[in-house]
Amino acid sequence: MNNEERHIFSVLVENRFGVLARVAGLFSGRGFNIDSLNVAATHDKSISQITLVTHGDAQIIDQIYQHLNRLIDVIEVTDLSTGRHVERELVLIKIATDDQQKRTEILQIAEVFRGRVIDMKPASIVLEVTGDEGKLDAAINIFRTYGIIDLVRTGKIAMMRGSEK
Amino acid sequence: MELKGAEILVESLKREGVDYIFGVNGGAAMPIFDALYNETDVKLIPMRHEQGASHAADGYARATGKAGVVLATSGPGATNLVTGIATAYMDSIPMIAITGQVMTHFIGSDAFQECDVIGVTRPICKHSYLIKDANEIADVVAEAFHIATTGKQGPVIIDIAKDAQNQETVFKYPDSVDIRSYKPQVNGDSNQIAKAAELIKEAKQPMLYAGGGVVLADASDELRELTLKTQIPITVTLMGLGAFPETHPLAMQMPGMHGSCCANYAFTDSDLVIAIGARFDDRVTGDLNKFAPNAKKVHIDIDPSCIGKNVPVDVPIVGDAKNVLKELTKKVDTPDIDPWRNQIQEWKQKYPFEYEQKGNKVMPQFVIEKIYEQYSDAIVVADVGQHQMWAAQYFQFTEPRQWLNSGGLGTMGFSLPAAIGAQLGCPEKTVVNINGDGSYIMTIQELVPAISLKLPLKVFIINNMYLGMVRQWQELFHGKRYSAVDYHDNPDFALLAQAFGATGLRVEHPEDVEPALIKAKGINDGPVVIDFIVDEEENVFPMVPAGKGLGDVIRGLS
Long-range contacts formed by B221-226: CB under 8 A, 24+ apart: B222/B321, B222/B322, B222/B325, B222/B326, B222/B329, B223/B276, B223/B321, B223/B325, B225/B325, B225/B329, B226/B325, B226/B328, B226/B329, B226/B332
State how beta strands B431-436 and B379-382 pair.
parallel
Residues in CB range of B266: below 8 A, 6 or more apart:
B205, B207, B233, B235, B252, B255, B344, B347
CB environment B247-273: b (16+ within 10 A), e (fewer): eeebbbbbbbbbbbbbbbbbbbbbbbb
User: Model confidence over A69-98: pLDDT tens digits?
Assistant: 999 999 999 999 988 999 999 999 999 998
* Among B95, B469, B472, B493, the one annotated catalytic: B469
Query: How many residues are present in chain A?
Result: 165
Q: How many helices (H) and strands (E) does chain A have?
A: 4, 9
CB B515 within 8 A of CB B451: no
Q: Residue A87: which of A4, A3, A5, A7 has the closest Cα?
A: A7
Catalytic annotation, pick one of B50, B114, B222, B369:
B50
Best mutation target, A67, A70, A76, to test chain B (most B CBs within 10 A) = A70
Q: What number is the ipTM of this complex?
A: 0.89
The arrangement of strands across the sheet holding B528-533 comes to B403-404, B379-382, B431-436, B458-463, B528-533, B503-507
How far CA B472 is from CA of B257, B405, B484, in Å, comes to 13, 21, 13
Model confidence at A141: pLDDT above 80: yes
Strands B95-101 vs B155-161: parallel, antiparallel or unpaired? parallel
Instruction: Look at residue A49 in the predicted model and tell me its pLDDT.
Output: 95
CATH homologous superfamily of B190-350: TPP-binding domain (3.40.50.1220)
Please indicate whether residue B350 is annotated as part of the active site: no
CA B201 to CA B381: how far, in whole Å?
39
Of B113, B185, B343, B445, which one is the catalytic site residue? B113
CATH architecture of B364-533: 3-Layer(aba) Sandwich (3.40)
Whole-angstrom distance, CA of residue B315 vs CA of residue A28: 30
Specify the pairing of strand A47-56 against strand A34-41.
antiparallel
* Whole-angstrom distance, CA of residue B212 vs CA of residue B240: 4
CA end-to-end span of chain A: 32
Mean pLDDT (whole number) for B162-191: 97
Task: Indicate the class that CATH gives domain A5-82.
Answer: alpha beta
Domains A5-82 and A86-160 share a fold: yes
Structure confidence by residue, pLDDT tens digits, A46-74? 999 999 999 999 999 999 999 999 999 99
Residues of B in contact with A44 (CB under 8 A): none
Banded model confidence at residue A17, pLDDT cuts 50, 70, 90 = confident
Please tell me the predicted confidence (pLDDT) of residue A2: 63
Burial of B497 (0-12, 13-18, 19+ CB in 10 A): buried
**Residue B257 annotated among the catalytic residues of the structure:** no
pLDDT in tens, B1-19: 899 999 999 999 999 999 9
Residues 56-95 of A with CB under 8 A from B: 59, 62-63, 66-67, 69-70, 72-75
Q: Does a cis peptide bond (omega within 30 degrees of 0) precede residue B339? A: no
- Does residue B182 sit at the A interface (CB-CB below 8 Å)? yes
CB contact (8 A) between residue A72 and residue B130 = no
Domain edges within chain A: 5-82, 86-160
Helix (H) or strand (E) holding B509: none
**Is the confidence at residue A38, as pLDDT, over 60?**
yes
- Tell me what pLDDT residue B557 has: 57
CB-based contact A53:A6 (threshold 8 Å): yes
Specify the pLDDT at position B130: 97
The Cα–Cα gap between B88 and B124 comes to 9
Determine contact: A31 vs chain B, CB below 8 A.
no
User: Radius of gyration (Cα) for chain A, nearest Å?
Assistant: 19
Average pLDDT, chain A: 93
pLDDT at B546: 87
Average pLDDT over residues A16-21: 92
Q: What is the pLDDT of residues B247-296, one digit of tens each?
A: 999 999 999 999 999 999 999 999 999 999 999 999 999 999 999 999 99
Look at residue B256 in the predicted model and tell me its pLDDT.
95
* Residue ranges of chain B that CATH labels 3.40.50.970: 2-170, 364-533
Look over chain B and give the mean of its residue pLDDT values, rounded to a whole number: 97
Distance separating alpha carbons of residues B21 and B68, to the nearest angstrom = 7
What are φ and ψ of residue B490, in 5° steps?
Answer: -60, 150
Q: Does domain B2-170 have CATH number 3.20.10.10?
A: no
pLDDT beyond 80 at B558: no
- Furthest-apart CA atoms within chain A: distance in Å: 57
Does the A86-160 domain belong in CATH 1.10.1370.30? no
Mutation target for B interface from A66, A67, A68, A73: give the one with most B CBs within 10 A: A66
Q: Is residue B382 scored above 80 in pLDDT? A: yes
pLDDT in tens, B154-169: 999 999 999 999 999 9
B468: pLDDT strictly greater than 80: yes
Give the residue-averaged pLDDT of B229-239: 98
For residue A3, what pLDDT band results from cuts at 50, 70 and 90? Answer: confident
On the question of pLDDT at B522 being above 90, the answer is yes
| B366 is a catalytic site residue | no
pLDDT at B556 over 80: no
- pLDDT per residue as tens digits for the range B326-336: 999 999 999 99
Own/partner pairs, B122-126, CB within 8 angstroms, 24+ separation: B122/A21, B122/A22, B122/A25, B123/A25, B123/A29, B124/B82, B124/B85, B124/B86, B124/B89, B124/B155, B125/B85, B125/B89, B125/B97, B125/B154, B125/B155, B125/B156, B125/B157, B126/A72, B126/B89, B126/B152, B126/B153, B126/B154, B126/B155, B126/B156
pLDDT of res. A163: 81
H/E stretch holding B344 reads helix B338-350
Residue B346 annotated to the active site: no
